Amino acid sequence: MNVRPMLRQTEQIDVYKALVSALADNLLPTVAIGAAFLGVGLYAFSETGAVAALGITILGVVASVLKAVLILFHLRALAQGAPTLAVIKRFEAAHAVTTWCMAGLIGALCAFLFSLPTLSLHLVATALLFGYCAGLATRISVRPKIAMGAVILAAGVAIVAAMVFTQDARFLIGAVFVLFLVSAVETIAYLHRNACGLITMRLQMAQLARLDPLTSLSNRLGLQEAVEELPRDASGSIAVHTFDLDGFKAVNDQFGHAAGDRLLQALSERLRRLVGENDIVARVGGDEFVVLQPDLDGQSDPERLAQRIHRDLTEPYELGTDQPISVGLSLGYSIAPVRTASLDALLHEADAASYKVKRNGGGFRPHNAPPSGPGSARKNSAARAAASLAS
C-alpha cells in the first residue's frame, strides 16, 4: 500500500510512517540551533542596537520553543503506541510549518547582518547559516521537501543580501553560497533515498522473520506478536485452534517431499480463504498449524470455524500427481478472555484437545469437551487419507 503524504511524495505507508517518526529525534539539534540563534541575535543587537535584530531574535526563539514543544508531543504520541495515519500526517504538517518559520527567521537575521558593514557580523551570520543548513540536510532529509524548502528559505534571502550589500568580492561570496545551496539540496535527496532504502530493507527483514518461507503464513514469532498486540482492555474472548495433518508422512513417502510441499502450500491457501479478516493463521511446525480468532462474536464462532477447517482441508487436492491427494486432520481449540489470554496456555489446551481427537481417528473438539463434529469425517479422516494413498 502506498501513501501520498504532504507535498505529493509517494512512499510505502510503513516507510512513510517510519520517516515521519524520525522527525521526533531532533530535540537536541532544535535546542542547539535555538541557543545559537539567540546568541547571534543578542550579539547583533549589542553591536548595532537595532530593534530589528532584537525583534527577529525574539521571534526565532519563540519558533524554536514551539518546535521543541512539538517534538515533545510527537515523542509522547509515539510512546503511547503507533499513531494513526491521520495523526502522522498532522505531525508532518506541524513539523513543516515550524521548520519553515524557523528557516525564514534565520534567513531574515542573516540577511539583516549581511546588510551591515561590520565584518564580524558577516562571520557569525555565515556560521549560523551553514550550521543550520548542515543540520537540515542531515536530520530533516527524511522529509526532503520540508528540508529543501527550509534550506531555500534560510539561504535564499541571505544569498541575495550577501550579493547586494557586501562590498568585497560580493558576487563570489554569493556564488559560493549558491553552490553550497545546490549541494545541500542534492545531499537531502541522496540521504532521503538512502533512508528509504534502509527502512524498506529493515521492514522486509522484519516481515520475513515473522513469516513461514514455504507457505507465507505467520510463524511462531509472528503469532506471538499478534497476541501481544491485542488490546488488553477489550471485553471479548479469543480462540486458538491447533491442528496437524493425519497421513502427511505417507504423502511424502509415496509422492516425494516436493509433493508434500505443494500440499502444504495448497492447504495454506484454502485456510486463508476460510478465516476471517482479523484472524491470524500460522504454520508452527512441519504439518502443524495454528489459527487465532481475536474477536469472537459468541461461543459458537470457534466451533463453526473448526467445522469449516475440517470439512474443507480434508477435501482431495489436485497437485499434478497421478491421483488426488487427501489427508486427515486432528484439530483442537481453546477459548479464553482477551484480558487474561496467554498464548502458551491456549496452545497447550488446544494441543491436548487435538491429541485426544487424533486418538479417535481425527476430527475436531474444544478443550475439556467431548468430541464433536461430523462423525463419519471425524472417525474416518485418517482412514480416508490412507485409502486415497493406497488406491
For 171-196, what is each residue's pLDDT tens digit? 787 788 889 999 999 999 999 999 99
Same domain assignment for residues 147 and 293: no
Q: Does residue 243 lie within any of the structural domains?
A: yes
Last residue of a domain, one of 208, 240, 271: 208
Q: Does residue 383 lie within any of the structural domains?
A: yes
- The sign of the dihedral angle between the CA atoms of 114, 119, 124, 130 is positive
Same domain assignment for residues 314 and 350: yes
Q: Which helix (H) or strand (E) holds 173?
A: helix 170-208
pLDDT at site 339: 80
**Beta pairing class for 280-283 and 237-246:** unpaired
Same domain assignment for residues 88 and 122: yes
Place of cell 535555538: 34
Helix (H, G, I), strand (E, B) or coil at 364: strand
The number of domains in the chain is 2
CA–CA separation, 345 vs 351, rounded Å? 10
Q: Does residue 213 lie within any of the structural domains?
A: no
Is the pTM higher than 0.85? The answer reads no
- Residue span of the structural domain in which 309 resides: 220-390
Question: pLDDT of 244-303, one tens digit each?
Answer: 999 999 999 999 999 999 999 999 999 999 888 888 999 998 899 999 988 776 655 888
Same domain assignment for residues 185 and 249: no
Q: 167 falls in which pLDDT band (50, 70, 90)?
A: low
Same domain assignment for residues 251 and 168: no
Q: Which helix (H) or strand (E) holds 349?
A: helix 343-359
Residue 197 has pLDDT above 80, yes or no: yes
Same domain assignment for residues 82 and 182: yes
Same domain assignment for residues 318 and 288: yes
Mean local confidence (pLDDT), 106-124: 91
Last residue of a domain, one of 179, 208, 237: 208
pLDDT at site 376: 37
CB atoms within 10 A of CB 369: 12
Q: 361 falls in which pLDDT band (50, 70, 90)?
A: confident
Same domain assignment for residues 170 and 258: no
